[in-house]
Amino acid sequence: MKKTKHLNYTFSIKYKLIIMFICFALLPLFILAIVFTSASKNALSATSSKLTLELVKQAASNLDTYTKDVEKNVTQFTISDLSQSGLLRDYHSGDVRKQTNALEKIQSQIVYFQELDHNVSNVYITSTKTKLPIGKIPYLTEDEIKLLGETVQTGSFTWTATENTPNDHMVVFQTYTDFDHNAQYTVYVDVNLKSIFDYLGNMTLLDNSLIFLVDENNEVLYTSNDSVSHLNDSITNNLSSESTLGSFNQTIDLSNYLFSYASLSNGWKVIVQAPEKSLTSQLNTAIVMVIILVIITILLAIGLGYLLAKRLSNPIIHLMGLMKKAENGDLTVIAPEKGRDETTQLCKSFNLMIANMSKLINQTQQVIVHTLDTSKILSRSTSESVETFTQLAASISDIAEGTTLQAMDAQESNTGMITLAESMQTVTNKTNHLLENTEGAKTMMETAATTMDTLTATMTNSMQMSSHIRESMNELKTLNQNIEDIMKLVDNISEETNLLALNASIEAARVGEAGKGFAVVANEVRNLADQSKHSTLNVRDTLNTIANKMNETTQLVEQSNTIIKDQSTVVSETYQLFFNIIDILKQMNSELKDINSSINSMQSLKETMVTQINSIATITQESAASTEEVSSLTTTQQTVISDLSDLANSLKNNMETLNQAIQTFRV
């Protein structure tokens, strides 16, 4: 409860009004401060960017003028003082006296050139006519000068530095061609950049700003911060090689910087790095003043809001105290009605509400007393009705249960009779089907008997044919043997003919020329005897093959006779079995007819029983339905009376509770 009071006190009307005054006072200031800060920062940043860019542009212009002056002096020294005056020609003429005189004058011109331009420290001159150079640059070796000479382009200046070049020095060199004497001269000038560095160091920049001077390869030549020796890749990537003037923003180590750059004619760039917070440092002072003004406004709003809130909230707080008493049951409270403002009207409404509530509670107490008496009478009546309907419902329930069981039994009997009828019908159908099948089987058996007679006759004919085949085979065997005897006779004739032909050949040879013709005939006769012998052998082979085939055929005929005899025996037995089956089928046919007659009688009796059972089931179902309706109505009435009893008890309890609640009010 203390925590609730604390929360109500913390967020009371008084403090809400104070917060409202603060919001109304601060909201315009905050909007104005945000708009002012944003616009000022943008304007100051843009102005500072332009000023920095102009500063860089001016510095690049001054440095460009400086480098062009140096290049101009070098050009004048080389062309006017050395080349056009003929000093270089005399130095390379080959005349010792002219060379000595020219060398003295060239050295004098170098001294004069150094005095004329204090930025020039040393001069070194080489020529394609001679290997003897003029002058010297202390920190350059001959190899370094040779390398520099290979990169030089005729007619253009090159600014460069080697590893040994001091930080504040640069070497500028240019090659000139003397077409009259077909010679090239390269002049190397050691330039002191101290004046450039002093100029850059004396430039007025924003706080924490840095200035850089870089060559065409973005190598740092000068920086206002000695700890920075090179530029980050992210900075060099933003430096445009095509644009001579520009600016960009870059974040380095979580800080935002503005970079402005300008290019010189020799490829160098002047870069200024300015932190954005330096651009808006003066604006921060104005923001602090705005914050102070806001704080003062907050304090004034709190004071003014407290005074106004106190004046507005005190009557409301007093009225809240009276409402708290009324909430606890004290309806005798009266709010003071002073003044004519809205608070006074609220107090009048509160007093009127309390008076109406007192009147309503008095009327409610009278109604509660009357309702309590009525609810007690109603509760007793409903209790008695519930007991009566409970007994009636139990009796009707027993009747309904018995009727339901009787209807179920009748239904089951009806179902059993229907099942029995279906079974009898099935038996009748199967018996008829069986009669048809026995008649068909009888016919088939008679047909089979006829077929068996035919088969028996066929078997007898087959056995007779086998006997004839066997006799024919024996006759063929005898003929084959006779042919064999004939072939033996032919063999003997062939051998004797061959022998006679041999003897004739011998005699013809003995006779000589006169027996040559006879020798030829004897030779032909011998050949004929050989052919006959060969033919006899072939015929004998053929006869042997025929004899083997006849033996095989004889064996097959013997096997066929055996099989036919077995088949004849089986056919006889089958014939006898068929006649036995026919007798059995005739007996089955007679018995099935008797069974079918009995089933038809049972079918008539079944139909009569089914009709009677259906009548009993219909009457029982109607009685059960009527009993269930009466039971349902009784149950419904019992439920209504029970609910009415519960409502009466609930009304009694509610009235008692309401009476107790009203007793807490003081009227």
Question: Please, which pLDDT band fits residue 407 given cuts at 50, 70 and 90?
Answer: low
Q: Does residue 14 contact residue 309 with C-beta atoms inside 8 Å?
A: yes
Residue type, 539: V
- Report whether pLDDT(3) > 60: no
* Per-residue pLDDT band at 654 (split at 50, 70, 90): confident
pLDDT band at 155 (very low <50, low <70, confident <90, very high): low
Tell me, what DSSP letter sits at residue 330? B
Percent of the chain's residues with pLDDT above 70 = 75
Q: What is the dihedral of CA 383, 385, 387, 389, to 10 degrees?
A: -150
Contact 93, 178 (CB under 8 A): no
Q: What is the pLDDT of residue 529?
A: 74
CB 665 within 8 A of CB 359: no
Bridge partners (DSSP) listed for residue 6: none
pLDDT (tens digit per residue) in 590-600:
777 777 777 77
Sign of CA dihedral 353, 358, 360, 361: positive
Instruction: Give the DSSP H or E segment for 425.
Output: helix 342-511
Bridge partners (DSSP) of residue 222 are: 213
Which pair of structure tokens corresponds to residue 628? 């269930």
Among the residues of 328-341, which ranges form H helices?
Answer: none
Q: What is the DSSP letter of 239?
A: S
The percent helix, strand, coil of the chain (3-state, each to 5) is 75, 10, 15
pLDDT, residue 8, reads 43
Helix, strand or coil, per DSSP, at residue 164: coil
Report domain extents, the chain.
34-282, 359-661
Contact 553, 473 (CB under 8 A): yes
- How many Å apart are CA 382 and CA 640, to the nearest integer? 10
* 542-552 per-position pLDDT tens digit: 877 887 777 77
What is the number of other CB atoms lying within 10 angstroms of the CB of residue 259?
A: 22
Band the pLDDT of 458: cuts 50, 70, 90. Answer: confident
Instruction: Tell me the C-alpha distance between 633 and 639, whole Å.
Output: 10
If we measure between CA atoms, which residue out of 311, 347, 338 comes closest to residue 17? 311
Check residue 33 and report its DSSP letter. Answer: H
Is the pLDDT score of 409 beyond 70?
no
Q: Measured between alpha carbons, how far is residue 109 from residues 79, 87, 103, 416 in Å?
A: 12, 10, 10, 149
pLDDT value, residue 507: 75
Least confident of 54-68, 220-234, 264-278, 419-433: 419-433
Q: 393: how many CB neighbours lie within 10 A of its CB?
A: 19
Domain 34-282, architecture per CATH: 2-Layer Sandwich (3.30)
Q: In this structure, what are the phi and psi dihedrals at residue 341, rounded to the nearest 5 degrees?
A: -85, -175
3-state secondary structure of 174: strand
The two three-digit tokens of residue 110, written as one number: 């170098």
pTM given for the model:
0.42
Which class for 176: exposed (0-12), middle (13-18), buried (19 or more C-beta within 10 A)? middle
Q: How far apart are CA 145 and CA 123, in angstroms?
A: 12
> pLDDT-based confidence at 183, cuts 50/70/90?
confident
**Six-digit token string for 29:** 């200031």
Q: Which amino acid is at 658?
A: L
DSSP letter at 274 equals E
Mean pLDDT for 338-364 is 76
- Residue 371: exposure state from Cβ atoms within 10 A (0-12, 13-18, ≥19): middle
Cα distance between residue 494 and residue 288, in whole Å: 157
pLDDT of 470 over the 50 cut: yes
Task: State the greatest distance between any 2 C-alpha atoms of the chain, in Å, as a whole number.
Answer: 197
User: What is the rounded distance in angstroms from the CA atom of residue 362 to the CA atom of residue 353?
Assistant: 14
Cα–Cα distance measured from residue 640 to residue 649, given in angstroms and rounded to the nearest whole number:
14
Query: Which pLDDT tens digit goes with each residue over 22-81?
Result: 677 667 767 777 776 777 767 767 777 788 888 888 888 988 898 888 888 888 888 888
| pLDDT of res. 1 | 40
Q: What pLDDT digit, counting tens, does each position of 287-314 carry? A: 777 778 777 877 777 777 677 767 766 7
Ramachandran area for residue 413 (φ above 0: left; ψ -120 to 50: alpha; else beta): alpha
Mean pLDDT, the chain, rounded, equals 75
Q: How confident is the model at residue 9 (pLDDT cuts 50, 70, 90)?
A: very low
Residue 150 in this model has a pLDDT that exceeds 50: yes
Report the relative pairing of strands 220-223 and 210-214 from DSSP bridges. antiparallel
Bridging pattern class, strands 220-223 and 158-160: unpaired
Give the full edge-to-edge strand order of the sheet including 220-223: 220-223, 210-214, 269-275, 255-263, 245-252
Euclidean distance between CA atoms 123 and 132, whole angstroms: 14
Written in H, E and C, the secondary structure of 45-77 is HHHHHHHHHHHHHHHHHHHHHHHHHHHHHHHHH
Nearest to 276 by CA among 203, 208, 367: 208
Q: Which of 302, 336, 333, 330 is nearest to 316 (CA)?
A: 336
Q: Which is more confident, 553 or 153?
A: 553
Burial of 126 (0-12, 13-18, 19+ CB in 10 A): buried
3-state secondary structure of 328: coil
Question: 357 pLDDT band (50/70/90 cuts)?
Answer: confident
Query: pLDDT class for 282, splitting at 50, 70, 90?
Result: low
- Contact by Cβ (8 Å): 71, 157: yes
| CA-to-CA dists, residue 117 to 190, 232, 264, angstroms | 11, 36, 21
Q: What is the DSSP letter of 154?
A: B
Matching CATH number, 359-661, of 3.90.1580.10, 3.40.50.300, 3.20.20.80, 1.10.287.950? 1.10.287.950
Calculate helix-pair angle for 281-327, 13-75, nearest 10 degrees.
Answer: 170
Query: Burial letters for 45-57: b for 16+ Cβ neighbours within 10 Å, e otherwise?
Result: beebbeebbebbb
Q: How confident is the model at residue 221 (pLDDT cuts 50, 70, 90)?
A: confident
For 101-121, how does the pLDDT look when each residue is reduced to its tens digit (9 = 90+)? 888 888 888 888 888 888 888
The reported pLDDT for the residue numbered 38 is 73
Kindly report, residue by residue over 501-536, the tens digit of the pLDDT: 778 778 777 777 766 676 777 777 777 777 777 777
Instruction: Tell me what pLDDT residue 435 has.
Output: 67
Closest CA to 176 of 71, 65, 67, 70: 71
* Spatial separation of the C-alpha atoms in residues 147 and 143, rounded to whole Å: 6
Type of residue found at 466: S
Cβ-based burial of 270 (10 A; exposed 0-12, middle 13-18, buried ≥19) = buried
Rounded Cα gap, residues 278 and 567, in angstroms: 132
Measured CA to CA, the distance from residue 486 to residue 536 in angstroms comes to 10
Instruction: Determine the pLDDT at residue 26.
Output: 67
Confidence band, pLDDT 50/70/90 cuts, at residue 392: low
SS3 244: coil
pLDDT tops 70 at residue 145? yes
